[in-house]
A and B are shown apart, each in its own frame.
Chain A
Amino acid sequence: MTDRKILAEFSYDLKPLEKGYNRRTLYVNVGSKEIKSKPVSDMMIDKFVGGKGFDLYLMWHGVKDDTKWNDPENEICIGFGPLCGNTNYPGSGKSIVTTISPLTGIPVDCNVGGHFGPYAKFSGWDAIEIQGKAEEELIVFIDGDKGSVRILTAPDEEINSHILAEELIKEFADSPDKHQFVSVVSSGKGAEHVPISCLNFSFWDKRRKVARLKQAGRGGTGMVFRDKRIKALVVKFSGLKGDTNHPEDLETLQKTGLKLHREIEEGDSSQCHMREVGTAHLVEIMNDYDLLPIKNFKYGQMDEAKGLASWEFKKLFTQGMPDGCWYGCSLACCKAVDGFIPRSGPYKGKSVLVDGPEYETVGGCGSNLCIWDAKDVVELNFYCDTYGIDTISFGTSCAFAMECYEYGILNKERTGGIDLTWGNADAVFELIHQMARGEGFGVIVGQGVRKMKETFAREYGADPKLLQDMGMEAKGLEYSQYMSKESLAQQGGYTLALKGPQHDEAWLIFMDMVNNHIPTFEDKAEALHYFPMFRTWFGLQGLCKLPWNDIEPANNAETDEPAKVPEHVQNYVDIYTAITGKPLDKHELIRQSERVYNFQKAFCLRMGRGRRIDDVPPYRAVGPVTEEEYLSRAERYDKLLQEKQGIDPAGKSTAEKMALLRAFREDQYQQLIDAVYKRKGWTPEGVPTLEHLKNIGMDLPEVLEVVKRFL
């Protein structure tokens, strides 16, 4: 056992939470060592609900207008919504992490599984707010069995999560049979050096007898964590029961959950195969529909992609386990590779467990880099997780560097001898190990695409326009792994996302491009209003998105709005009321989200981003940047020129056709923004109107004061 000193201790009364709320949040300043409880007011519950809403509210009052990611007053907030931790409805164990991002400078929010959130909530807290910067490495330990919070020294040698999480679980659990009641938040060595970093939330797998990890992946949460010199957050709670969140109506909660369990039992094997391969089942679907990112999002389809199809990962996954990241999730998507032996790095030749890979990791660390061997992707997944690196930003950043290498912007001299040709897995392994060691070209790549663009233009005289066109970032955050070129709605879903381009606001590719259900600007704007609001709701409540529409009722296609999965929307209305006792309908559900969404928008404005000028995608997300891209889909683009623009492509050069297409597509995107802003109640500059804020009940004085600066 590690010898630890107690640097600060705070005791609190243990009391059962009622109807999903504790009505208090935990504040820890790791610099001053202050620990205190803050009350949760009715106003907070009414306007901010919980989860991401509480996070943003706490963080708003903790930071200043000019706070940077590494300022002591920057906060890491972890919120647990009122539905978080119930064991009855699948996908209910999510925490939401927010912080001022080192990549974007604005609030980033990550929805993450694992056991930390529910246990911290059941220990007595609706959210945790961490501020300050410590002078020495430390651990924050929440003992939900005894009612104490301690700040402890952390002389531990280990930092990498796959080892540290397991060590701490064994140290803080009362006995080996109670490992499941401890959860750890940690990062890794990579997060000390590069901003494309993440936090790992652990859960103890009783069958495999190992700590597993889920990631708060986007925006550099890990780097903020390590900059504060926090080695880990640890929580212990041993009293978990089926009604620990004390719902108002347990019967409805159980019946609704059981209904979905049965639907998953019947539908998973034919609808989404989550239990067999998790989200990796999307790889072959995306490739079939020309949507899988390949060569830094140049192409969407290649024959070689079959090397990364879900059946290749199925051979590696251990099957027949309840692979939920929280108890009671029968969708069981978080797959694992047992006994994996890395062929590179410090754990070369040692047997490790790897969580995943999920689809985003396969796209980012596989197809986008032309790495077609499933085992190489698993290895990158392992090292990303344990070093605390975001697989999405890592994949997109490496892809950008590889394309720069292809164009001669980079060469071996500039990369320190690394041959960044497409598909060179060994080179990518070296990049990630360099990130962990804090040395070499890997650290440059780890700064993310926006910083690389600046560096390569400044240092190597690269054409800034080309770099902007092909560098897949917006607001400073790297794009996640879907091709959006042929879906105007998805371009909006990505680039208008408040935190930066991530698919968790609106994933409209199929609605728009495959099914043609939203043909007009108004249709797309309506979808780009509804879906971000609906999906925001999961972050308020502590829920996972997957049980909403990855599995669908058998008769869903016959409903009025199949894309919304009306029966499941009603399930959420029912379980919210069953737990909180508060009335809700599907309209108020959207309004709950709208209040927090617009608050986050105002927060972005306050921190210096969030206007129209920040909602600009790189052209690679909109259309073909290079001639080879155009030619790869020449028939389609020629046809579009004729049909959409009334231009006869005959006799025109590829360059001329590309210019015409670009002018059209960029204009279409601007028209889309006009329609979306209008639907969202914002000015043409992307600023919420005072009238809209009043209508949705988010006309708080501090919000109006900020928004007025931009009107």
Chain B
Amino acid sequence: MKKVLMTYPQNCIACHACESVCSNLYFKVDDPAFSRIRITEAEPEPHMNACNQCGICVQTCPTLALTINSQGVVMLNKNLCISCYMCVASCPTGSMFRHLGGLAPFKCIACGSCTEACPADAISIAETKEI
């Protein structure tokens, strides 16, 4: 079983509240560029981008800084990360991020903070066998 952030784009109203909560929680700024979930406004429905915990980045990491925890969530150990960004390049969903001025990449760890802020039931935390 893995814990994962599920997205329902058909419900998303592109209010960006999830990005605000996320960036504030982890980077103390209100800036979508620092959010681990990204909303792109598109037709017919917004595109919602968050890590699905597939683990491809774990295979890519040369220092074993990325591991899968007991809940099936991909976690980054910043002490082992050497900022090569091979994980960013290998992520098939584009949900491993780097940011200006920072060293370690960052990703959604399915903490669920954004789900509480979402007014449209477009995000939820689930335990699933499938991506």
- A residues with CB within 8 A of B: 87-88, 180, 206-207, 240-243, 251, 254, 257-258, 261-262, 264-265, 320-322, 324, 327-330
Among B61, B85, B100, chain A packs the most CB atoms within 10 A around the CB of B85
From known contacts A258-B98, A327-B62, infer whether A241 and B103 are also in contact, taking CB-CB under 8 Å: yes
Query: Is there a chain A Cβ closer than 8 Å to B110's Cβ?
Result: no
Query: Is there a chain A Cβ closer than 8 Å to B90's Cβ?
Result: yes
Complex A-B, nearest 8 residue pairs according to Cβ-Cβ distance, in ascending order: A242-B83, A328-B84, A261-B89, A322-B62, A87-B82, A87-B84, A242-B103, A262-B89
Q: How far is the CA of A207 from the CA of B67 in the complex (A)?
A: 12
Cross-chain contact of B90 among A87, A265, A321, A329 (Cβ < 8 A): A265
Name the prevailing secondary structure of the B interface residues. Answer: loop
Distance to closest chain A CB from B15 (angstroms): 30
Name the prevailing secondary structure of the A interface residues. Answer: loop
User: Are A322 and B60 closer than 8 Å at their CB atoms?
Assistant: yes
Contacts of A320 in B (CB 8 A): 59
User: Are A88 and B83 closer than 8 Å at their CB atoms?
Assistant: yes
Given contacts A242-B104, A329-B62, 10 further A-B contacts (CB under 8 A): A206-B63, A242-B81, A251-B100, A322-B62, A322-B86, A324-B62, A327-B62, A327-B63, A328-B62, A328-B85
Query: Is there a chain A Cβ closer than 8 Å to B101's Cβ?
Result: yes
User: Are A261 and B88 closer than 8 Å at their CB atoms?
Assistant: yes
| B contacts with A, residue count (CB < 8 A) | 20
Distance to closest chain B CB from A699 (angstroms): 41
Cross-chain contact of B83 among A207, A241, A321, A330 (Cβ < 8 A): A241
Distance to closest chain B CB from A315 (angstroms): 20
Q: How far is the CA of A454 from the CA of B62 in the complex (A)?
A: 49
Query: Is there a chain A Cβ closer than 8 Å to B64's Cβ?
Result: yes
User: Are A254 and B98 closer than 8 Å at their CB atoms?
Assistant: yes
From known contacts A258-B89, A322-B61, infer whether A241 and B82 are also in contact, taking CB-CB under 8 Å: yes
Contacts of B90 in A (CB 8 A): 261, 265, 330
CB-defined interface of B41-60 with A at 8 Å, one 1/0 digit per residue? 00000000000000000011
User: Are B82 and A240 closer than 8 Å at their CB atoms?
Assistant: yes
Contacts of B98 in A (CB 8 A): 254, 258
A-B contact pairs, 23 of them (CB 8 A): A87-B82, A88-B83, A88-B85, A180-B63, A206-B62, A207-B64, A240-B82, A241-B82, A242-B83, A242-B84, A243-B103, A254-B83, A254-B85, A257-B84, A258-B85, A261-B86, A261-B90, A265-B89, A322-B59, A322-B86, A330-B86, A330-B89, A330-B90
Contacts of B104 in A (CB 8 A): 242
Distance to closest chain A CB from B24 (angstroms): 24
Contacts of B64 in A (CB 8 A): 206-207
Which of chain A's residues has its CB closest to B64's CB?
A206
Q: How far is the CA of A264 from the CA of B81 in the complex (A)?
A: 21
Contacts of A243 in B (CB 8 A): 83, 103
Contacts of A327 in B (CB 8 A): 62-63, 82, 84
Contacts of B103 in A (CB 8 A): 241-243
Distance to closest chain B CB from A379 (angstroms): 28
Which of chain A's residues has its CB closest to B61's CB?
A322
User: Are B63 and A257 closer than 8 Å at their CB atoms?
Assistant: no
- B residues with CB within 8 A of A: 59-64, 81-86, 88-90, 98, 100-101, 103-104
Q: How far is the CA of A650 from the CA of B111 in the complex (A)?
A: 83
Distance to closest chain A CB from B54 (angstroms): 14
Distance to closest chain A CB from B67 (angstroms): 12
Q: How far is the CA of A296 from the CA of B35 in the complex (A)?
A: 61
Which of chain A's residues has its CB closest to B60's CB?
A322
Which of chain B's residues has its CB closest to A242's CB?
B83
Contacts of A264 in B (CB 8 A): 89
Distance to closest chain A CB from B94 (angstroms): 10
Q: How far is the CA of A66 from the CA of B114 in the complex (A)?
A: 74
Q: How far is the CA of A314 from the CA of B61 in the complex (A)?
A: 22
Q: How far is the CA of A254 from the CA of B101 in the complex (A)?
A: 10
User: Are A328 and B101 closer than 8 Å at their CB atoms?
Assistant: no
Q: How far is the CA of A180 from the CA of B100 in the complex (A)?
A: 28
Q: How far is the CA of A322 from the CA of B100 in the complex (A)?
A: 26
Which of chain A's residues has its CB closest to B82's CB?
A87
Q: How far is the CA of A324 from the CA of B89 in the complex (A)?
A: 15
Contacts of B61 in A (CB 8 A): 322
Q: How far is the CA of A261 from the CA of B57 in the complex (A)?
A: 13
Cross-chain contact of A88 among B59, B60, B84 (Cβ < 8 A): B84
Q: How far is the CA of A88 from the CA of B98 in the complex (A)?
A: 12
Q: How far is the CA of A676 from the CA of B63 in the complex (A)?
A: 46
Q: How far is the CA of A327 from the CA of B81 in the complex (A)?
A: 10
Among A180, A207, A329, A330, chain B packs the most CB atoms within 10 A around the CB of A330
Q: How far is the CA of A330 from the CA of B88 in the complex (A)?
A: 11
Q: How far is the CA of A240 from the CA of B101 in the complex (A)?
A: 18
Q: How far is the CA of A198 from the CA of B59 in the complex (A)?
A: 32
User: Are A328 and B82 closer than 8 Å at their CB atoms?
Assistant: yes
User: Are B82 and A242 closer than 8 Å at their CB atoms?
Assistant: yes
Which of chain B's residues has its CB closest to A207's CB?
B64
Distance to closest chain B CB from A321 (angstroms): 8
Q: How far is the CA of A87 from the CA of B103 in the complex (A)?
A: 11
Which of chain B's residues has its CB closest to A244's CB?
B82
Q: How far is the CA of A10 from the CA of B85 in the complex (A)?
A: 37
Distance to closest chain A CB from B40 (angstroms): 19
Q: How far is the CA of A329 from the CA of B90 in the complex (A)?
A: 12
Which of chain A's residues has its CB closest to B100's CB?
A251
Contacts of A321 in B (CB 8 A): 59
Contacts of B86 in A (CB 8 A): 261, 322, 328, 330
Which of chain A's residues has its CB closest to B84's CB?
A328
Contacts of A207 in B (CB 8 A): 64
Q: How far is the CA of A191 from the CA of B89 in the complex (A)?
A: 41
From known contacts A206-B64, A320-B59, A327-B62, infer whether A251 and B85 are also in contact, taking CB-CB under 8 Å: no
Q: How far is the CA of A180 from the CA of B104 in the complex (A)?
A: 19
